Amino acid sequence: MIIELKDNIDAEQATRLAEVARAFLIHDGASHVLINSSSEKELPRELEPHTEQFFVFADDMQLASRKYRSQTRGVRFGNTVIGGDSKNTVVIAGPCSVESEAQIRQSSNLLRELGIGTLRAGCYKPRTSPYSFQGMGLDGLKLLGKMRDEFGLSIITEVRDASQVDEVIEHTDIIQIGAKAMYDQGILRKCGKAKQPVLLKRGFGSTLQEFVQAAEFILSGGNQNVMLCERGIRTFETKTRFTLDLCGVAYLKEHTNLPVILDPSHAMGYAYGVADLARACTAMGVDGLLIEVHPTPACAKSDASQQLDHRQFKDLMATLHPIAAAVGRKIV
């Protein structure tokens, strides 16, 4: 249940009412808001005089639902806004991993050349083997911070565990929670206390309901700047790395109020299919794309097969603009 308190309720009173309802207390928009389990269907008697309106739900997709907020929430980073009244589709691009200053500078130059404002690159890589390249860590983060200063780019990078959230906030603009960390409550709760936008990737073995409920951990913690990212689910088909779930994206657009970003690179796993998928996603009118591009993909220290080279990426960008226009959107 979500309970919007009247605006004359102050923080102290709100805290006391939250205890009565055994609920999370957040400030969403103009008023204090309480959220407890969707199994609660009736407003506690004691709250009645202080309640502006309340919402009951069939399941624990509550703050994220269109039933609670019919418009997609707006999220801002740097000079970019997605969701809300905007008709923007943001392209977030860059290499899988930060590998060196020279490499990440080449990526930054590419983005500047194409008028793209948001750079992605990993520093803490959640590899499935302990014997693989694990990322540059804090050194990589500092390089990203440097690019931010030099090029005026917004930066997004992934946290692998909760202890890294603070330093990622310090050096970047968007916290990425990777697919393998989607259930990590340490990260989710820490991000709930932050103000920075969070891009939450769907676990490749996670249902849409679990995905949205993971977002509820962040939202109920108080941070309303959450973006959902579909990046492919694991199915029986192994000719491609994962299966991009666009039916699921249609579901998310219909039932949730969070911006939706698509990652065709990880879904496909092979550069040859990324452009076609990126075009498909754009035509669906999603709020953003996350695309891996590397100066020399064959030499990449991780995900070499799926990264576009600069030429392929430029060709792709040229085709996205007219598709976005055809569905009333703008690439930013």
The CB density around residue 225, as the number of other CB atoms within 10 Å, is: 23
- Which of residues 64 and 90 has its CB atom nearest to a copy of itself in the complex? 64
- Rg of the chain over all Cα atoms, to the nearest angstrom: 20
Contact between 145 and 171 under an 8 Å Cβ cutoff? The reply is: yes
- Which of residues 62 and 257 has its CB atom nearest to a copy of itself in the complex? 62
- Which of residues 114 and 283 has its CB atom nearest to a copy of itself in the complex? 283
Q: What is the DSSP letter of 118?
A: E
Q: How near is the Cβ of 228 to a copy of itself at its closest, in Å?
A: 14
CA gap 283, 136 in Å, rounded: 36
Burial label for 262, CB within 10 Å (0-12, 13-18, 19+), is: buried
CA gap 268, 314 in Å, rounded: 19
Q: How near is the Cβ of 81 to a copy of itself at its closest, in Å?
A: 22
- Which of residues 107 and 224 has its CB atom nearest to a copy of itself in the complex? 224
Q: Can you read off the two tokens belonging to residue 214?
A: 């993971």
Q: How near is the Cβ of 97 to a copy of itself at its closest, in Å?
A: 15
Q: How near is the Cβ of 134 to a copy of itself at its closest, in Å?
A: 8
Q: How near is the Cβ of 8 to a copy of itself at its closest, in Å?
A: 27
Q: Which amino acid type is present at position 179? A: A
CA gap 41, 27 in Å, rounded: 22
- Which of residues 143 and 233 has its CB atom nearest to a copy of itself in the complex? 233
